[in-house]
């Protein structure tokens, strides 16, 4: 491989150069010990894995070590969580460990917006980048179609029940569901950041053009079906969960499910292939499973349970990624994903950077397209020490689970030795191991210190415990998460949210569902403008959604929306195709 210099090359240029030396996907499968029939190739370098065959064959094999990657509260400067996940996989490979990574498939929303793709960066990336970023093997398309098919079933049923009497419905072998068009449980899905579709009116026209009603779109990766893909254990479990999705309510307030609409089977048919995890590779040739989706602020935001079950059977170390900071992604990994999977992690890696900690310490605002203030490039231990309060909050959260925390200082070339030493001291005093990692610049060679720290921590016994039990009332769970994880002083509810909470608590079935919080990822609080470790604030719950199929209720904090907006300078402006080679350029 030609020398790749991340200080002089863009990430997509590095990925394009590295792809010239990629291992064929069949070689990746052979190195994992898979049979020919267990790999489903999608071209030369990407494939899916027949998870049922693999788990049937390896079901009695002892699991490898289970490593989760999370981060401090994100900032516009970036913390490099996926970059660190890829770097750790490369570093473990460098010290001779059989390792697999698991990350989430990027959404078209951020890929074409301001965030870009989510393949990592520098010499710690998942490749091939174009396949990874632009649809991969069609999982998100399958989710979009399955979600929208449920809405087709709901809206067409409303129209037919409005237009026809009971005798006509009976002649078509349909029973009247009395669906309330003013109270749908969901809207439509599209995998772009399309703020113009948040609230719409559908059914304009005549009686054969649908029933006129208020509706809207959410981004596909926030769909309950994406959450189901993340937590389902197998096809039977997927089918049952899809049948339990609440699509709307009848005029008495009773739920109308995908099963009631007789659409669950067809929805599952669209999802069968998507249930098989995708296999790709790092720049250095270690296998990476890509499965389920991002956005832990508005969804569960976890790589799938199936991918993790496979990785733990096929490798000595399996590294899985959770979305955003430990208050968001790790909390859901801890109290939802681990509860559903029954898997107990050995280590959690908390990623931080000097520059991000400076912002949490009160550093100047960062504006896209403008040079960084010198506060972020010159030594400033005062800002680092103040900002480290955010890191210490996340260390405390991980420790409450009983999982061993390892802080990764994701190195940047402007970091001063004194700043790094200060972070080490503060994190170690808080009970975490600490490792400096230069994986962005040096790949696996730069992540050896991190890899060794993770291996060392993974040898210790884990005294794992959940934050709450399934019998804990919903409002008490929300209070525990708000106070113990976010650092809130109290919780408030809109009248609508409180009424829903009381209804859920009184229902024997709903009261045992998990709790999947929706909150901004940009602050420990509900206010994205508040950095650091805010204290003395109240978490406002404005609504509570029911994801009965996925197995949790969704309290919505603050003004966060399930459909992001596209910014004024989106990434799609810089993406293009070389018309001579067909190669995509400009992805980041």
Annotation says 440 is catalytic:
yes
Strand-strand pairing, 278-282 and 124-127? antiparallel
From the candidates 12, 18, 75, 81, give the one annotated as an active-site residue.
81
From the candidates 112, 330, 340, 412, give the one annotated as an active-site residue.
412
Q: What are phi and psi of 545, to 5 degrees?
A: -100, 155
Annotation says 104 is catalytic:
yes
From the candidates 73, 82, 83, 566, give the one annotated as an active-site residue.
83
From the candidates 324, 333, 334, 340, give the one annotated as an active-site residue.
324
From the candidates 65, 94, 97, 104, give the one annotated as an active-site residue.
104
From the candidates 65, 94, 97, 115, give the one annotated as an active-site residue.
115
Annotation says 296 is catalytic:
yes
Annotation says 282 is catalytic:
no
Q: Map tokens 């698991």 to a residue.
A: 102
What are 550's two structure tokens? 């996925």
Q: Any residues with CB less than 8 A from the CB of 234 and at least 6 apart, and which?
A: 51, 52, 275, 306
Within 182-319, where are the H helices?
224-231, 235-243, 264-271, 305-314
381 three-state secondary structure: helix
From the candidates 188, 211, 440, 552, give the one annotated as an active-site residue.
440
Please report the beta strands in 85-231, taking only residues with DSSP state E, as ranges in sequence order.
99-103, 120-121, 124-127, 179-184, 188-190, 200-202, 213-215, 217-219
Closest CA to 74 of 413, 380, 521: 521
Beta bridge partners of 246: 257
Annotation says 112 is catalytic:
no
**What own/partner pairs with CB < 8 Å and gap ≥ 24 does 53-58 have?**
54/310, 54/313, 54/314, 55/309, 55/310, 55/313, 58/313, 58/314
CB 504 within 8 A of CB 552: no
Q: Any residues with CB less than 8 A from the CB of 193 and at least 6 apart, and which?
A: 109, 110, 112, 113, 219, 563, 564, 565, 566
Annotation says 12 is catalytic:
no
From the candidates 119, 296, 393, 458, give the one annotated as an active-site residue.
296
What are 319's two structure tokens? 């590294």
Q: Where on the phi/psi map is residue 473: left (φ > 0), alpha (ψ -120 to 50), or beta? A: beta
Annotation says 412 is catalytic:
yes
Annotation says 71 is catalytic:
no
State the catalytic residues: 81, 83, 104, 115, 296, 324, 412, 440
């Amino acid at each position: 491989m030609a020398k790749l210099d991340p200080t002089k090359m863009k990430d997509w240029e590095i990925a394009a150069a590295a792809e010239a030396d990629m291992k064929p996907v069949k070689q990746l499968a052979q190195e994992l010990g898979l049979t020919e029939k267990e790999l489903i190739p999608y071209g030369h370098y990407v494939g899916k894995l027949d998870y049922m065959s693999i788990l049937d064959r390896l079901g009695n094999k002892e699991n490898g070590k289970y490593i989760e990657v999370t981060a401090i509260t994100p900032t516009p400067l970036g913390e490099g969580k996926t970059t660190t996940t890829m770097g750790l996989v490369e570093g473990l490979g460098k010290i001779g460990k059989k390792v697999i990574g698991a990350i989430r498939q990027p959404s078209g929303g951020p890929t074409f917006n301001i965030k870009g793709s989510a393949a990592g960066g520098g010499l710690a990336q998942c490749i091939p980048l174009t396949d990874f970023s632009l649809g991969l093997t069609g999982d998100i398309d399958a989710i979009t179609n399955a979600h929208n098919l449920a809405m087709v079933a709901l809206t067409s049923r409303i129209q037919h029940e409005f237009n026809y009497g009971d005798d006509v419905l009976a002649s078509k072998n349909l029973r009247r569901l009395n669906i309330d068009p003013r109270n749908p449980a969901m809207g439509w899905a599209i995998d772009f950041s399309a703020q113009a579709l948040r609230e719409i009116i559908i059914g304009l026209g005549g009686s054969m053009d649908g029933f006129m009603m208020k509706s809207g779109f959410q981004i596909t990766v926030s769909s309950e079906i994406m959450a189901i893909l993340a937590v389902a254990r197998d096809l039977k479990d997927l089918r049952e969960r899809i049948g339990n999705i609440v699509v709307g309510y009848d005029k008495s307030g009773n739920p109308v499910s995908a099963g009631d609409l007789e659409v669950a089977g067809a929805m599952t048919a669209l999802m069968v292939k998507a249930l098989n995890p995708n296999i790709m590779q790092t720049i250095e040739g270690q296998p990476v499973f890509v499965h389920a989706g991002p956005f832990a602020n508005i969804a569960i935001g976890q790589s799938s349970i199936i991918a993790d079950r496979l990785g733990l059977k096929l490798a000595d170390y399996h590294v899985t990624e959770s979305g955003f900071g430990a208050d968001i992604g790790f909390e859901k990994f801890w109290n939802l994903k681990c509860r559903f999977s029954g898997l107990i992690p050995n280590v959690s890696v908390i990623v931080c950077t000097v520059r991000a900690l400076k912002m949490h310490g009160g550093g100047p605002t960062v504006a896209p397209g403008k040079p960084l203030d010198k506060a972020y490039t010159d030594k400033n231990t005062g800002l680092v020490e103040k900002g480290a309060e955010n890191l210490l909050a996340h260390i405390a959260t991980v420790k409450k689970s009983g999982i061993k925390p390892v802080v990764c200082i994701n190195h940047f070339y402007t970091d001063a030795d004194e700043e790094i030493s200060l972070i080490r001291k503060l994190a170690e005093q808080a009970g975490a191991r600490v490792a400096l990692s230069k994986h962005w610049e040096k790949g696996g060679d730069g992540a050896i210190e991190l890899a060794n720290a993770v291996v060392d921590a993974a040898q210790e016994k884990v005294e794992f415990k959940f934050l709450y039990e399934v019998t804990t009332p919903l409002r008490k769970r929300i209070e525990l998460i708000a106070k113990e994880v976010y650092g809130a002083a109290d919780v408030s509810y809109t009248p609508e949210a409180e009424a829903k909470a009381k209804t859920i608590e009184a229902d024997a079935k709903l009261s045992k569902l998990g709790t999947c919080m929706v909150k901004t990822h940009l602050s420990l609080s509900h206010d994205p403008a508040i950095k650091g470790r805010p204290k003395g604030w109240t978490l406002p719950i404005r609504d509570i959604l029911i994801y009965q199929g996925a197995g949790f209720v969704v309290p919505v904090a603050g003004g966060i929306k399930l459909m992001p907006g596209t910014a004024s300078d989106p990434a799609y402006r810089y993406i293009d195709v070389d018309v001579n080679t067909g190669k995509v350029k400009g992805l980041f």
